[in-house]
Amino acid sequence: MTRPVAIVTGGGRGIGATIAARLAEDGHDVAVLDLSEDACQESCAAVKAHGARALAIAADVSDEVAVERAVRQVSETLAPPFVLVNNAGILRDRTVTKMSLEDWNAVINVNLKSVFLTSRTCFPYMMKGGGGRIVNLSSTAALGTFGEANYSAAKAGVIGLTKTLALEGGRHAITANVVAPGFVVTEMTRAVADRNGLEFEGLVEQMKRETCVGRVGRPEDVAQAVSFFADRRSSYTTGQLLFVAGAPRG
């Protein structure tokens, strides 16, 4: 059998890079999408270290033409995608009264619109190939987070969109599921702390106290959940929301 192909958006660093490496370890060839090819190089090297093929693609996943071009390139260079992981995301934190329409649109476009565009584009490839796995990254912020109306709305939208993809994809052997991380130590969470004038280690200690397991999340925790949903053997699990947050949520 040939190795199934996975697409990981926002795969150049952090959680996305860890997911890409895990999927390669699981036996997938991986296309890493990010804003520049240079941003994908380290992630691609980790994929290749697992004996898998890697493809770096520069793409703005909130742009319809760029998405269609990227998925076509994946199909022609590696093979049609069996797995799509929508991980790309940005933050533009402001309280509602201070949030500009530009901040709102930017976050909605990258965190939600992109999931629609990539899923719509990959669906026909998966249907023709006999099935597929779509795994979308949401967040505990979908339940509401102070100062993140745009991000919370986008991540809640991802959940509803994914459940609809599951309903529409089921008869084509396409599953769609959501992984919703809690606090995970990444460059992004460090940047959030810096922007808000918070000492990062203090923030980590605070987040620990909000879990049952006594620690904060690691990118590997998220990759573990994605790995399950992406597996060919997970064909009876679809439309599900899994919080990876160290405590019950929802």
Q: Could you give the C-alpha distances from 15 to 147, 158, 197, 215, in angstroms and in order? A: 23, 17, 24, 17
Residue 199 tokens read as 């000492």
How far is Cα 71 from Cα 58, in angstroms, rounded to an integer? 11
- Give CA–CA dist 248/121, Å, rounded: 34
Strand runs labelled E in 87-182: 132-137, 174-181
Nearest in space to 13 (alpha carbons), one of 43, 46, 35, 33:
43
Q: Which of 194, 195, 179, 183 is nearest to 228 (CA)?
A: 179
- Count of CB atoms within 10 A of residue 69's CB? 14
**Comparing C-alpha atoms, which of 130, 118, 125 is closest to residue 171?**
130
Q: How far is CA 105 from the centre of its chain?
A: 19
Distance CA 191, CA 243 (A): 23
Strand partners, 83: 6, 133
Strands 54-58 and 81-86: unpaired
In the annotation, is 151 catalytic? yes
Question: At residue 244, what is the residue type?
Answer: V
Task: For the beta carbon of residue 142, count every other beta carbon within 10 angstroms.
Answer: 23
Identify the active-site residue in 82, 104, 123, 151: 151
Active site residues: 151
